[in-house]
Amino acid sequence: MCGIIGYLGQKEAYPVLLAGLERLEYRGYDSAGICTAHHGTLHLHKKKGRVENLKSITLPGTIGIAHTRWSTHGSPADKNAHPFLDQSKQFSIVHNGIIENYLELKEELRKEGVAFTSDTDSEVIVHLLAKYYHGNLQEAVLNTVKRLMGAYAFCVLKSGNQEIIAARNGSPLVVGLNGGENFIASDVSALIEHTRRVIYVDDFRLVKVTRQGVELSDFQGRPLPPSIKEVNWNIEQAQKQGYKHFMLKEIFEQPQVVEDSLRLNLSLRKDFSRLLIVACGTASYAGLVGKYLIEKIAKIPVAVEIASEFRYKEPLFSRDDLILAISQSGETADTLAAVRLARQQGAKTLGMINVVDSTIAREVDDIIYTRAGLEIGVASTKAFIAQLVTLYKIAYALAGQEFSGEGLVEKVQQTLSLNSQLKDLAKKYFAYQNFLYIGRNINYPLALEGALKLKEISYIHAEAYPAGELKHGPLALVSEETPTLAICPQDSVYEKTFSNIQEVKARNGKVIAVATQGDERIKGISDDVIYLPSVKEVFYPLLAAIPLQLFAYHIADVKGCDIDRPRNLAKAVTVE
């Protein structure tokens, strides 16, 4: 979940690394640090807090490594910031992941006289390197990885050496190539300003980066040929382009995302008896929408599993099942583990991934790339919409039908015109500390997603329920202090949802209704109404997602929250 970057070339490394960290900060922002090597000496600067805290000084040297942290072991503090040095100050490392056996390694090293300076699991790596170094850095790294259990991608810098060595097992790593200067990082966003030529590093691989090029090997030291890819997006896509936050920019990019996603050409064989969707967070809610869609349109049974629970509950699936893994980043650790478990047991796997050549994309049997483009905001918006459109395409393809989505782009564009109304509603409701979100049928997953967005970026407690479940417990929470946001379009369950809203109003609850344009009746039981353009019932999730995103965004903005970097969260969850 942390961000790492390394550079060696002809330029001063510190400003290059600093700029790269700023692009990686969505991966973690509890602390940051940079280490450079110059004239045989390692120079280190690290601080608790944001990357901007590193701008007060500069360090010499044309080679260096850097890190922005999302805390797992050890609180956000200067001492727990990366990079870490060994006791002799010859070695420096940055690490993304979790070392599961760090306590036993730490105890072993302490008995050998090593004094630790942090509370992190990562620090054991640098002390193991120092222990195993006997003149060959690559051998020291190979001996170190033999001792590590868990997930990691780490970079190593040694004083006096003009090379960076990195190793990967379970956490993402990419190399950037640009003639006389080369890079290594957690993802492409840190490199795209400098190069589009990249190597995606697989698990159990070691990389040696010099100014002359890159050498790739496995954990037995056997050399491997690198596979160089060309990245198809550019730096402009990573800029805010006048929007206050990346999240708002990405919400307003959704008409284009829908248009691009509708161009997907899918050819799917119906050679499986059941579809089993595995995903986490927002992607799992997209998967729930997919369950409703595929069962309704293609008449194929669908199960949705939370990936973080999947492998721990002795899941029942067979070779006749198709496992669909949904992930924006393609690096989600739990989803990746679910894919690997499925493949071990002989099931076919299909990935629905946004990031090209990411780990899950490389490991599944078949891949569908969603067309959201680069998403920077931690709270996913346009990636969710891209996943939904792709699931529509899948549902219709499995039914042997064409899905053109005629008129949907315009309807999404119309829905964005609600932005001003949602901004006003945010000013009215931002002070409430609790919300209920309700929906029925295909809109129940949208209630889950809406509540998640509010929690993620505004830190307001929100719970989501199927509307029919209110009387089975949640109705006890309804009061004047707990507004209910009800998704109630004019669909096949309209009367049922309408009745549930009446239950809320009968108990003095405030109601914000998301309804169909022209529905005057719902005004009588709602405090506020957000009107959506009229569409077929199955398409309401595509439209309903937008006001839920904007409502959460504007509440967080009124509260002054750090919307693109919400506390305790990171964009890609690459650790368990």
What is the tens place of the pLDDT at every residue in 233-262?
666 666 777 789 999 999 999 999 999 999
- The residue that leads in pLDDT, 193 or 26, is 193
Question: Which domains are present in the chain?
Answer: 3-237 (3.60.20.10), 240-405 (3.40.50.10490), 407-562 (3.40.50.10490)
> Which of 136-150, 223-237, 485-499 bottoms out in mean pLDDT, i.e. has the lowest?
223-237
Question: Do the Cβ atoms of 5 and 193 come closer than 8 Å?
Answer: no
Q: For residues 422 and 253, give the distance between their C-alpha atoms in angstroms, rounded to a whole number.
A: 17
Q: What is the torsion angle, in degrees rounded to the nearest 10, for the CA atoms of residue 374, residue 380, residue 385 and residue 387?
A: 80
**Over 70: is that where the pLDDT of 574 sits?**
no
pLDDT for 1 beyond 80: no
pLDDT at 515: 98
Q: Which pLDDT score is estimated for 469?
A: 94
DSSP assignment of 218-256 equals ETT--EE---EEE----GGGGS-TT-SSHHHHHHHTHHH
Let me know: does 498 contact 470? Beta carbons within 8 Å.
no
Put simply, whether the predicted model's pTM sits higher than 0.85 gets the answer: no
Q: How many CB atoms lie within 10 A of CB 18?
A: 21
Name the DSSP class of 355: S
pLDDT mean over 292-320: 92
- pLDDT, one tens digit per residue, over 337-353 is 999 999 999 999 999 99
Task: Please report where in the chains the tokens 């790269």 appear, as a residue.
Answer: 20
pLDDT tens track for 160-217: 999 999 999 988 899 999 988 999 999 888 888 899 999 999 999 999 999 989 999 9
pLDDT at 80: 95
Active-site residue, selected from the candidate residues 2, 35, 280, 488 = 2
- 38-47 mean pLDDT: 96
The neighbouring-strand residues paired with 575 are none
Q: Which two tokens stand for residue 359?
A: 């780990």
Q: What is the spatial order of strands in the sheet that 174-178 belongs to?
A: 41-48, 31-38, 63-69, 3-8, 181-185, 174-178, 197-200, 228-230
pLDDT tens digits, 500-554: 999 999 999 999 999 999 999 999 999 999 999 999 999 999 999 999 999 999 9
The answer to whether residue 2 is catalytic is yes
Q: Which residues of 212-236 are buried (b: 16+ CB within 10 A; e: fewer)?
A: eebbbbebeeeeeebeeeebeeeee
Length of the chain: 576
What is the predicted pLDDT for the residue at 373? 86
Taking only the tens place, the pLDDT of each residue in 477-513 is 999 999 999 999 999 999 999 999 999 999 999 999 9
Q: Is position 249 annotated as part of the catalytic site?
A: no
Residue 357's pLDDT is: 84
Q: Say what percent of the chain tops pLDDT 90.
A: 82
Write down the pLDDT at residue 271.
87
Tokens of 56: 């007060």
Q: Please identify which of the residues 46, 291, 411, 571 carries the catalytic annotation.
A: 571
Task: Give DSSP secondary structure letters for 419-435.
Answer: HHHHHHHHHHHTT-SEE
- pLDDT in the model for residue 312: 86
pLDDT tens digit sequence for 53-80: 999 999 999 999 999 998 888 888 999 9
pLDDT of residue 236: 60
d(C-alpha 352, C-alpha 554), whole Å: 30
Chain-wide mean pLDDT for the chain? 93
